[in-house]
Amino acid sequence: MTKSVKLALLLFCAVLLAAWATPAQAVCGSSSSTPLYAGQTLDAGTVTVTNDAANIYVRYMTNDPWVISDAHLAIASSLAGIPQTHKGNPIPGHFAYSAIFDPEVTDYTFTIPLGSFLPGQTVYIAAHAIVQAPAGSGGTQTGWGFGPGFPGANWATYIQYPIQSCGGPVE
């Protein structure tokens, strides 16, 4: 091989190694985890919320034997910003983010751009899922990330999460 080909190959390998070694965005501050309740009382897993400088991450993880077949997510700067009926019951089918899984999954993360949300601002998150377990362990259930209840008559709940600072100046 010629010297220039060897040099080009060495440079290519160095660039590839640098790209591979570059870490993902660091999570800022503290994460917040809450139970994912199925059918109001069954602990089907957890919902964890974190953010970095660019995105908010909402991760659904189930406990064995639970699996997720559908997930719906709404995030807003106020509770009124989450789609609800006139009586205050959330409408998961109208949430901005959704996913259907076939086959079902045990772990899924929604990535939402920070947009206009600022460090220190509390956001309201409705994390809904359809979860399934064998009939003797719970069957098919509606699940919600645990928190305060919506004002309506059903048992739906929401999460409050303060956007974490990434250590830079707040603009």
Give me the pLDDT at residue 26, please.
84
Cα 87 to Cα 152: distance, rounded to the nearest angstrom: 5
**4 token code pair:** 């220039």
Taking residues 82-109, what's their average pLDDT?
Answer: 98
Give me the pLDDT at residue 42, please.
96
Give me the pLDDT at residue 20, please.
38
Give me the pLDDT at residue 17, please.
37
* b/e burial code for range 44-64 (CB count within 10 A of at least 16 → b): bbbbbbbbbeeebbbbbbbbe
Share of the chain above pLDDT 90, in %: 78
H/E segment holding residue 9: helix 3-21
| DSSP-based three-state secondary structure for 100 | strand
Taking residues 118-142, what's their average pLDDT?
Answer: 94
H/E segment holding residue 42: strand 42-51
Predicted TM-score (pTM) above 0.85: no
CA distances from 32 to 19, 48, 134 (A): 30, 6, 29
Is pLDDT of 11 > 70? no
The rounded mean pLDDT for the chain is: 88
* Tens digit of each residue's pLDDT (9 = 90 or more) over 135-151: 778 899 999 999 999 99
pLDDT bucket at 3, cuts 50 / 70 / 90: low
pLDDT bucket at 7, cuts 50 / 70 / 90: very low
Taking residues 115-134, what's their average pLDDT?
Answer: 96
Return the CATH fold of 33-162.
Immunoglobulin-like (2.60.40)
* Tens digit of each residue's pLDDT (9 = 90 or more) over 18-76: 333 334 558 899 999 999 999 999 999 999 999 999 999 999 999 999 999 999 999 99
Among 161, 153, 156, smallest CA distance to 38 is for 156
